Amino acid sequence: MLTVTVLGSTGSIGCNTLDVIARHPGKYRVFAITGNTQIETLMQQAKVYAPRFVVVSDEERIEQARELAKQLQVESEILCGSRALEEVASAAEVDVVMAAIVGAAGLLPTLSAVRAGKRVLLANKEALVMSGALFMDAARQSGAEILPIDSEHNAIFQCLPRDFGYGELNRSGIQQILLTGSGGPFRERPLESFAGITVDEACAHPNWQMGRKITIDSATMMNKGLEFIEACWLFGVKPQEITVVLHPQSTIHSMVQYVDGSVIAQMGNPDMRTPIAFGLAYPDRIDAGVAPLNFSTLADLTFSTPSYERYPNLKLAIQACEAGQAETTRLNAANEVAVDAFLNERIKFTQITEVNEETLNRLEPIKVSSLQQVLEQDRLARETAQRIVRGLN
């Protein structure tokens, strides 16, 4: 039986992880769950899964969690704060860590799990966007096993040869990685109407059920840009070895093109339980609770090249990837500030890119080589982006 910590258990990835675990009670045991604002959901999960620890983000919410624990007769020990997150991610009893905390907040606990040599199911793309070299170096030193959970990276992993060596596309006979994206809800919307896009419209993804921040990123295709950066670090490939392909049906989750003309694709219904189950059971397969594709009713599969005019955030992300670690860290930080401002109706949809681009323009290029420098660049970019948002208001 494998022991699992779920970082970010109240989000969509966390809830789906617990759903898969519940289908295999003889294979997995929950050691710890963590949450930020959805304390009632977190404590309901604690009642069902009986983890040893429940971690909340700060002191403001721990009393609410303790009161709910009494009402629900939850016996789990309740902890709070960033240090507690790192402890439940690196505890000796833990075999597997689902890293599903959204945004930069997930970096330190995920890195803690990596340094402890865990199997890390990586759903937090920001960990690599912010500190790819440090993250992958730590994994090599500790022997941690990094398994991608984003549907696209999981698909690429499944399409690579089993003996694929990090960064060895040529040796494996691979020409390029084809990273697919749906294009979000505004793939065909007239560009001149983008300034009027509402929060509700941007949060209505046509295929996936996700959190609000990730859904906005999908609408701007920043999510695909962050995935582009993540893929470079995960597989050790250069930006020019990845091509982004629009595939609105989200049936093919990504592809690998080989030098002999073959293209291997991973397909499935758009349900995150498939990659989660793959990561939990690898190299075996387990039931994820996902219905198989019905090819007799499958709609046409279409593909196209994304337009940078429609998706300028995607272009920004690719350029940042080419520029280096400091630039991707800054872009991620600025985007978190910009998306939060849009969700709170402080800026327009089109101004998300404006905030991101202006933040990068205001900061001088530098090289980063330590976690402290990464966190400092994250801080500087957030402060810069917040000033830009205030100026737009």
pLDDT tens column, 1-13: 999 999 999 999 9
CA 22 to chain centre: 23
Residue 210's pLDDT is: 66
Percent of the chain topping pLDDT 90:
81
Sheet-wide strand order for 252-258: 242-246, 174-181, 252-258, 263-267
Overall size of the chain counted in residues: 393
Known binding positions for 1-deoxy-D-xylulose 5-phosphate: 125, 151-152, 182, 205, 218, 223-224, 227
175-212 pLDDT, tens digit per residue, is: 999 999 989 889 989 999 999 999 999 888 766 666 78
SS3 177: strand
Q: What is the pLDDT of residue 147?
A: 96
Please name the residue ranges forming H helices in the chain.
Answer: 12-22, 39-49, 59-72, 82-90, 107-115, 126-142, 151-159, 199-202, 212-220, 222-235, 273-281, 312-323, 325-343, 351-362, 371-392
pLDDT for the residue numbered 376:
95
Encoded tokens for 204:
């209505």
User: With contact defined as beta carbons under 8 Å apart, do 122 and 152 qualify?
Assistant: no
* Mean pLDDT, residues 337-365: 96
Confidence of residue 267 (pLDDT cuts 50, 70, 90): very high
Residue 116's pLDDT is 97
Q: How far, in Å, CA of 328 to CA of 311, rounded?
A: 17
Please name which of 108, 119, 311, 101 lies closest in space to residue 211, comparing C-alpha atoms: 101
DSSP-derived secondary structure for 1-69: -EEEEEETTTSHHHHHHHHHHHT-TTTEEEEEEEESS-HHHHHHHHHHH--SEEEESSHHHHHHHHHHH
Task: Average the pLDDT over 101-125 and give the result.
Answer: 91
Confidence (pLDDT) at 331? 96
- pLDDT given at position 204: 81
Position 212 scores a pLDDT of 84
- Residues annotated within the binding site are 10-13, 124-126, 150-152, 182, 205, 211, 218, 223-224, 227
DSSP letter for 180, please.
E
Does residue 242 surpass a pLDDT of 80? yes
Other Cβ atoms within 10 Å of 370 Cβ, number:
10
Give the H or E element holding residue 386.
helix 371-392
pTM of the predicted structure, to 2 decimals: 0.91
Question: What are the angstrom distances between the C-alpha of 219 and each of 115, 148, 245?
Answer: 34, 22, 15
> Mean pLDDT across the stretch 145-170?
93
Annotated binding-site residue numbers for Mn(2+): 150, 152, 227
Residue range 33-44: mean pLDDT, rounded: 94
Predicted confidence at residue 207, as pLDDT, reads 64
- CB-count exposure of residue 273 (10 Å: 0-12, 13-18, 19+): buried
pLDDT above 70: residue 286? yes
Domains recognised in the chain with CATH numbers:
2-148 (3.40.50.720), 157-281 (no CATH), 324-392 (1.10.1740.10)
Contact 270, 205 (CB under 8 A): no
CB 103 within 8 A of CB 333: no
| From 56-65, 219-228, 265-274, the region with the lowest mean pLDDT | 56-65
Residue 123's nearest CA partner among 146, 93, 89, 91 is 146
